[in-house]
Amino acid sequence: MRIVSTLLVLFLGAAVPPKKGDDAPPLPPAQIVLRIDAPDAGGPWKMVVTNKGDVPVRFAADGRLLSFEVPKPEDPYGTKKKLKISPPLVCKLPAELRPTGVVEDRAVMLGPGARYEEVISPALYCFGDALAKALVPGATVVAKLGFAPPARPPKKDALPPPPFIAEPATPRPNVAPLKQIVSEPFVLPAAANFSTAPADAAPPSDDPNSPRIELTGPTRVDTANELTVGMTLSVKNVGGRPTAVHTRRDHLMFEIDGPGGSAHCGAPAERRNVPADAFVPLAPGAARSIDVWVGEMCADMVFDRPGLYRVRPSIAFPATAASSTIKVWSDTVTAKEPVLVRVKQGRLPFYTTPPQVFGPSP
């Protein structure tokens, strides 16, 4: 009977869960550090990810997984005393551009001390007007790289579900995977002050009130793919006297700088014979609009890679031999500022080269 009692006590003792202090401590996170080198607010910036730990990790080397938290600009007409702090603005890519998981050909091994670098354009992420205006010198920005944590935190000692931005690459890891890496806050400095005159400065005129034509376009165009790149341009007489112009879409030209390099679109006819009645008078302050599908003037491969493009339009005005009571404008005019075009999808992949790791091998 005494033996049975002893066995019963041992059995009950084994069934009692261990004390809370006896639980194994959770694994520390992998020591992966994110840094953004931002020489000015306009970019380009450099994303640097470094493995500061002693365990090799599998890392998703994909800048499309970046997001930025930017403080909301203060309202100059608001009250000085704020009742609460406004949440920061979040800059990130749209769903069409941002991967939902780790893209296999972007996965690399980061050994201890190794790093990955990628040049990024902040305008690609902070694309809207409000977001772009928040990227001002003096703004404090926090960068995040990876996947949002789950809405419900995992149970104690349980890992969150994949995907992970970084996870240990050892059979028996002593560090935990990471869904997201957060940078230290960084302050945007002022842009360098260059004293060079703009390349398209108008030549001096003997008549200060002479007509002067300006070409302007939208600040940004967010478009689905290479087949939908379009914009509305404005031809305006900002001078003091009227002029006559002949505007057609095939007079337009575009200088394009994109992920795949530079391109030129459009070739106006140099010796087109335009009758005098085809010219339209343009009074001081008056403007004419031109709706143009840029894709029809460019080769098929110009916009076939998703990403950010800088498109600078020009328009060549033809002359006429017929006499006129007002000046006929015949000079080529180039827009002072390029149009930022964000193409969300394309036939080619986002990246032009595979990821490269610097430093020690795993």
Domains (range + CATH), the chain = 25-191 (no CATH), 213-343 (2.60.40)
* Ramachandran area for residue 138 (φ above 0: left; ψ -120 to 50: alpha; else beta): left
* Count of C-beta atoms within a 10 Å radius of residue 270: 7
User: Measured between alpha carbons, how far is residue 226 from residues 101, 253, 267 in Å?
Assistant: 25, 17, 20
Identify the DSSP state of 27: P
Confirm if 321 and 279 have CB atoms less than 8 A apart. Answer: no
Residues pairing with 307 in the sheet = 343
Lowest mean pLDDT, pick from 4-8, 128-132, 245-249: 4-8
In the chain, % of residues over pLDDT 70: 82
Please report the pLDDT score of residue 152 as a whole number. Answer: 76
b/e code 272-302 from CB counts within 10 Å (16+ = b): eebeeeebeebeeeeeeebebebbebbeeeb
Mean pLDDT is lowest, of 95-109, 233-247, 315-329, for 315-329
User: What is the model's pLDDT at position 277?
Assistant: 81
Cα 104–110–112 angle (5° rounding)?
165
Give the whole-angstrom CA distance, residue 68 versus residue 71: 10
130's enclosing H/E stretch is: helix 129-134
Q: What would the pLDDT profile of 49-89 be if each residue is shown by its tens digit?
A: 999 999 999 999 999 999 999 988 765 545 555 556 778 99
Q: What is the mean pLDDT of residues 320-334?
A: 80
In the sheet that holds 287-293, the strands lie side by side as 213-216, 230-237, 287-293
pLDDT in tens, 275-296: 878 888 999 999 999 999 998 8
Three-state DSSP at 256 gives strand
Distance CA 46, CA 150 (A): 28
Interval 84-139: pLDDT, tens: 677 899 999 999 999 999 999 999 999 999 999 999 999 999 999 999 999 999 99
Per-chain mean pLDDT for the chain: 86
